[in-house]
């Protein structure tokens, strides 16, 4: 079943799981499929330093103060634990609000499974499979860091964002009603005043004045 993951699964990485021969091989050999009910606690996530892919539904990463993050279909969690070979001791995992939540587990000893591959043709050689496997992990790390940076530093700093229509409209000086609220410029501490970069001058405006300035917002 793991080998039949389709392109519609929605995995948000540079390469889908089923497209990578090394990852598909490891999942087929030692991967585990977990079925979680609604709000069911996923105890295996805290006892093993594995990498997990949400195949269907969603899971919640919870801390004592509340829900830390919601991981939906097509995304992954546990990368830091997988790399450091440490179980997830800082948060607990539970199923989402849907009745059927499916999680694929990639064990930490996946590299040992790759060592068992017999030497053969170039396409199935041990070194080739190692390279494809670690390339996939690097692509996940790159995407995870990029998403974190976008969340902490929103804006058009990323070159790939230049192709997004909303970013192009912002760079061309086009403004829509409520753009400040959409960009997250209003918070509990900054409801009345905030800074805007107007051409080369950094100025402080009130809410109504900033909307009239048609200035390029910068954080």
pLDDT digits (tens, 9 = 90+) for 66-101: 777 888 887 888 887 787 777 766 677 888 877 888
Q: How high is the mean pLDDT in each 10-residue block of the chain (219 residues)?
A: 39 55 80 85 82 85 80 80 74 80 83 72 68 80 73 57 55 48 43 54 59 50
Q: What is the fold of 2-152? A: Jelly Rolls (2.60.120)
* pLDDT of amino acid 10: 42
- Domains of the chain, by residue range, sit at 2-152, 159-213
* pLDDT of amino acid 1: 38
Residue whose entry in the numeric block shows the structure tokens 């087929």: 28
């Amino acid at each position: 079943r793991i080998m039949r993951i389709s392109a519609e699964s929605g995995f948000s990485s540079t390469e889908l799981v089923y497209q990578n021969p090394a990852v598909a091989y490891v999942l087929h050999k030692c991967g585990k499929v977990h079925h979680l009910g609604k709000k069911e606690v996923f105890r295996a996530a805290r006892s093993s330093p594995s990498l997990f892919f949400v195949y269907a539904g969603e899971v919640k990463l919870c801390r004592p103060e509340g829900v830390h993050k919601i991981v939906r279909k097509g995304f992954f969690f546990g990368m830091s634990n997988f790399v450091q070979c440490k179980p997830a001791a800082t948060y607990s995992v539970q199923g989402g609000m849907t009745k059927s939540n499916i999680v694929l587990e990639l064990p930490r000893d996946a590299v040992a499974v790759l060592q068992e591959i017999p030497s053969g043709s170039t396409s199935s050689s041990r070194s080739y499979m190692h390279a494809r496997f670690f390339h996939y992990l690097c692509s996940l790390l790159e995407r995870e860091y990029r998403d974190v940076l976008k969340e902490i530093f929103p804006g058009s700093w990323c070159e790939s964002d230049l192709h997004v229509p909303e970013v192009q409209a912002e760079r061309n000086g086009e403004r829509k009603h409520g753009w400040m609220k959409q960009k997250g410029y209003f918070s509990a501490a900054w409801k009345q005043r905030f800074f805007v970069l107007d051409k080369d001058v950094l100025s402080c405006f009130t809410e109504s004045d900033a909307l009239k300035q048609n200035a390029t917002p910068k954080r």
